[in-house]
Amino acid sequence: MRTAVIKRKTAETDITLTLILDGMGNFRGTSGIGFFDHMLTAWCRHSKFDVDLNVHGDLEVDGHHTVEDVGLCLGQAFFEALGDKRGIYRFGSAFVPMDESLARAVADISGRAYFLYDALLTGSRLGEFDLELVSEFFRAFTQEARLTLHLKLCYGGNNHHKVEAMFKACARALAEAVAADPREGGIPSSKGVL
């Protein structure tokens, strides 16, 4: 089973996160930020990854440290759970509509961290969630997962729908990328390592 447990304790957050790549799509726990939990739930559901999350963050300041550090921990867990990446498809992509919004995600489990984010979100908040934290979360995740992720909001109107489409597109692309390729017995790279 491809799984990892990450513990991170700083002056700003105290996080324990468990990730199971070959799961059922369950999210358990809470970040303390309702909308972020909603997005993590959608991410798990559409990737079929299981995440157990226990966070104590400095939410009295704002949600930045909590969201970024959850992204870092999730990325570390993703990298560890994949191991040597033997037998995976490596690449994944998905378009996901959410009513009037459409998002695209393209992923490469490359061993190289690169994040391209192209999304126009209007306004500054959804409930207590700062919309700037969408890119911060995915940037932190991509950095620690050591993968390439191109995430684009093609169009949309409602911010909730825009963000949810991006989380779901990312989930679908990653699920495809980490799936077992029955024709690939080794490392999916001409270099022999990822």
Tens of pLDDT, residues 29-83: 999 999 999 999 999 999 999 999 999 999 999 999 999 999 999 999 999 999 9
Say yes or no to pLDDT of 189 above 90: no
How far is Cα 13 from Cα 171, in angstroms, rounded to an integer?
25
pLDDT at 11: 97
pLDDT at 98: 98
Q: DSSP for 108-171?
A: E--SS-EEEEE----SSEETTEETTHHHHHHHHHHHHHT-EEEEEEEE-S-HHHHHHHHHHHHH
What are the sequence ranges of the domains in the chain? 3-178
Tens of pLDDT, residues 72-103: 999 999 999 999 999 999 999 999 999 999 99
How far is Cα 136 from Cα 1, in angstroms, rounded to an integer?
29
* 3-178, CATH topology level: Ribosomal Protein S5; domain 2 (3.30.230)
- For the residues 142-170, what does the mean pLDDT come to? 98
- For the residues 136-153, what does the mean pLDDT come to? 98
pLDDT at 113: 98
Say yes or no to pLDDT of 190 above 90: no
What is the amino acid identity at position 163? V
* Cα 149–Cα 108–Cα 169 angle in degrees, nearest 5: 50
Tens of pLDDT, residues 102-132: 999 999 999 999 999 999 999 899 988 999 9
Q: Which is it for strands 101-108 and 148-155: parallel, antiparallel or unpaired?
A: antiparallel
